[in-house]
Structure 1
Amino acid sequence: MKILLPDHKRWVHDSPMEVRWGDMDCLGHVNNTVYFRYMESARVEWLRSTRETPHDGNQGPVVVNCFCNYLRQIEYPAQLVVKMSVSDPARTAFETWYEIEKVGEPGVVYANGGATVIWVDFDRQKAVDLPAWMRAMLDG
């Protein structure tokens, strides 16, 4: 079963990752919660690719919704690539999309998912406009 993601997304980053022994659960495959960690790591790596930190002092990204579709089991050992895309930039938010593949198996998607990210003023606990540098990254 292949679950399709929006066609209007734009690829922005590939993040190589290694499955660690501790990523597995008692059934011998990667635990479902770890897939979210893989997606988070790709997102932070992308954000840090042009900046030292993924935030501006007291403002930064906050995930408000996320999901994952588990399509195939992943076991240790494995080398992965998390392919990240973005879409739908708005005034304060944008969408992120992920496809997880094994290195050496291009096009075979083991999981896919997404997250809605909003830009927040941490002191005020309120969404604010995306900063210009983030808008430029989203617009490509």
Structure 2
Amino acid sequence: MSQTPQPPRQHPFAALDWSQAHRAEIQMRYGDTDAMGHLNNAAYVSYLETSRVQMLREMGTPLEDLLTVVARIEVDYVSEIKLGQQVIVETLVEKVGRSSYTFVVRMLADGVPSAYARTVQVNIGRDKRPAALSDDRRAWMERYSVPPVPATSPA
């Protein structure tokens, strides 16, 4: 018995208001691609890191104070990125805890969504233990705040 093909479900993050997101343009390098000219899956994660560091630096955080660790990262690849396309990473803040925060991310290639991601970062002190976020960092993140999105797989 054959089934009627179903249209792909829209990713849950697609419904967010991305107009207020932090935006970072990423310079794609030839070495980020595979033999077919597609962006390698590991490069997506590197681009997320580049955008995250840029965002934290724009908060006024000195490089020596960028003491965060990634506790979790999930990436949903929705379309390919090819060498030569303009890559923009948009970031919103889904949750801010005592020492951790969660970003939701949309990666665009020539304006078309190519990946969605969620990352959880933990702020740490010089002793390498979780440390409370400063009031300044919390206030800065508030401008990018969105309601939590259910952790539902789009597939």
Tell me the TM-score range normalised by the shorter chain: 0.7 to 0.9
Pairing of 1:36-115 with structure 2 (within 5 A): 36-54=45-63, 56=65, 60-103=67-110, 105=111, 108-115=112-119
CA 1:95–1:24 in 2, change beyond 3 Å: closer, same or farther? same
Identical-pair percentage: 23
Q: TM-score, normalised by structure 1?
A: 0.83
Cα contact 1:9–1:85 (8 A) shared by 2: no
Residue aligned with 1:91, SS: coil
Deviation at 1:27, TM superposition (A): 3.2
1:127 offset after TM fit, Å?
0.8
CA distance in 2, matches of 1:9, 1:118: 25
Task: Identify if the C-alpha distance between structure 1 residues 134 and 7 changes in structure 2 by more than 3 Å, giving closer, same or farther.
Answer: farther
Identify the structure with the greater helix proportion: 2
Tell me the equivalent position of 2:3. Answer: none
CA shift at 1:13, angstroms?
A: 0.8
Bigger proportion of residues as strand: 1
Give the count of matched residue pairs: 134
Amino acid at match of 1:139: E
Write the distance in 2 (CA, Å) between the matches of 1:46 and 1:120: 17
Shift in Å, 1:126: 1.3
> What are the Cα deviations for residues 97-118 of structure 1, in whole angstroms up to 9, with x where unaligned?
1101123x3xx21111011011
Pick the structure with greater CA Rg.
2
Q: How much does 1:130 deviate?
A: 0.6
The structure 1 residue matched to 2:11, chosen from 3, 7, 20, is: 3
Aligned residues: CA RMSD: 2.3
TM-score (norm 2): 0.76
When residues 111 and 8 of structure 1 are mapped into structure 2, their CA distance, relative to the original with a 3 A threshold, is closer
**Map of 1:35 onto structure 2:** 44
Task: Give the superposition deviation at 1:52.
Answer: 4.9
Aligned counterpart, 1:13: 22
Q: Distance in 1 between matches of 2:29 and 2:47?
A: 11
Using the alignment, how far apart are the partners of 1:9 and 1:126 within structure 2? Answer: 34
Which ranges of structure 1 fall in alignment gaps of 5 or more residues? none
